[in-house]
Structure 1
């Protein structure tokens, strides 16, 4: 019995150690509000918080964290409308502390995405598939690749995609061609890679409107759903990389 208890205690201890460190840094010259989601066991850190200029937080995520997403919300006011429209972009159900079961925020929103420990590999990327609202990079301490979109895509965003705008008229987002519904049928769309266009073969980047605007400015970020070859980064899980997500790097 003592042996079984010892083995059980060791298993619990190893389970407690099976954590990975994530840093999130706001290098923007203004306040933003963070949110993260994922599948399975979620980190113990709050799922939504305010980050003033220059602040950073560190928290632990499970070593097998899957479908992890971290993004920033802009121009939020939770006092009168604590829901998905309480921010100009990136908003979510729940107000400041977002619901963990409702996916990503209201587009446009730049995403930092993670699936850790899948077959001994960490997968991570910066995605503009849901549009852009903040520059983002994902660095690490073990020399693996760095996905990023370090450019402010709002001011020069093509007119059909530009917005929303803050109270001064400055564009704080740039929608994807899918979100802007440029071809009129999001359920069967080249821009969304849906319907008859839902494979890599039937949805080449050449068929996605304004793809080059996003890809030319941010070549290391997903500009559409099937950008894997240039935008999905990997790192051996055995290296136990510490990942740092920096907004406005």
Structure 2
């Protein structure tokens, strides 16, 4: 694997970061990666970059990095669009290549992190905003793998399929919320919003196409209250000092190992409705 921009970064305060993150593009096509998060200090590495097939980027984040989100964008052209959020077929954001600290435009597969919360790292692969790229989150200390390692686009149910590239191929699979299947995103069981905004009033059985996402990617966060599945939110003891690798289009060899997971229902997963 060619490392195009490995770096051991220092932070503004002059203190070395505590954790190393590596983002790998194992797809056979270019994607555009982005990350955002908060902590006692901020990485100096650019938050958005073009990732050619077979390349990786390594950077450091503070030990208390929280609200961390990493995702990939497809079919981007930042030279022509007057609206940066629509510069990519999916996952685009205001700011173009380097987003203005905003989330990506759904559908987008997202890796989420909060490190060091009460002695625990919390992480997941989220399909709450739909799916655009296969993804895995692995680590170097034998904690659990979070992943959605298969491509959900080709067989995505018609009602939520898309957007499409210039050749007419699906490059995304929307969530039922994003597709607005019930016509009212403000009070929707698909969005877990309004009168459906609690785990009790928004069970997975009421979310259209939940089973498509969860059956294909059982170790992912498939809807807003998916903690009850036991295979959505993953944890690792912070004192292990785990370094994490986020791989787009992971091979089967990166997703066969499963660590022991524990649920932390107090974790505030970013991007939830």
TM above 0.5: yes
Q: What TM-score results when the alignment is normalised by the length of structure 2? A: 0.84
Query: Aligned residue for 1:4?
Result: none
**Is 1:32 aligned to residue 31 of structure 2?**
yes
Aligned-residue RMSD, C-alpha: 1.4
Q: Deviations over 1:88-142 (max 9, x none)?
A: 0000111111112x2x100000000000000110000000000000000000010
1:191-202 → structure 2 map (5 Å cutoff)? 191-202=190-201
Query: Aligned residue for 2:55?
Result: 55
Answer yes or no: is the 8 Å Cα contact 1:47–1:99 preserved in 2: no
Q: Deviations over 1:10-45 (max 9, x none)?
A: xx9x98245211000000000000111113443221
Give runs of ≥4 in structure 1 deviating > 3 Å.
none
Distance 1:15 1:230, change over 3 A: farther
Q: Alignment partner of 2:84: what SS? A: coil
1:53-202 → structure 2 map (5 Å cutoff)? 53-81=53-81, 83-100=84-101, 102=102, 104-202=103-201
Q: What TM-score results when the alignment is normalised by the length of structure 1? A: 0.92
Where do 5+ consecutive residues of structure 2 fail to align? 1-10, 251-273
Q: Looking at CA atoms only, which structure, 1 or 2, has the larger radius of gyration? A: 1
| Aligned length, in residue pairs | 235
Query: Aligned residue for 1:3?
Result: none
In 2, Cα distance between the equivalents of 1:216 and 1:244?
A: 24
In 1, Cα distance between the equivalents of 2:89 and 2:152?
A: 16
Where do 5+ consecutive residues of structure 1 fail to align? 1-11
Q: Alignment partner of 1:222: what SS? A: coil
